[in-house]
Amino acid sequence: MSTHSLTSRPVSRENVLLEPRRVGSLGRRIVETLREWHRRARSRHELALLSELELKDLGFRDRVQAEIAKPFWRA
């Protein structure tokens, strides 16, 4: 009776140990990116809630309007 491998690479200690790290690193980057996008969206929403007087007090009205208009994925 022969055994068949489900992967194209031979199973070795190095392959087993390295694969979870890659997935973990990718998972961390995805979570970090989603958190950053959420932070941007929340910040831009809070800026959009400011009154004209508050925007004038900031002194950056045009820059604030440009920031509000950006999509969440754009830095």
Tens-place pLDDT, residues 41-72 = 999 999 999 998 998 888 888 898 899 999 99
Measured from the Cβ of residue 17, the count of other Cβ atoms closer than 10 Å reads: 9
Please name the residue ranges forming H helices in the chain.
13-48, 52-58, 61-69
Does residue 25 form part of some domain? yes
Does residue 1 form part of some domain? no
Residue 68, CB half-sphere, CA atoms under 13 Å: how many? 13
Q: What is the band of 5 on the pLDDT scale with cuts at 50, 70, 90?
A: very low
Does residue 6 form part of some domain? no
d(CA 27, CA 32): 9
Q: What is the pTM of this model?
A: 0.61
Q: What is the band of 9 on the pLDDT scale with cuts at 50, 70, 90?
A: low
* Number of folded domains that form the chain: 1
Does residue 8 form part of some domain? no
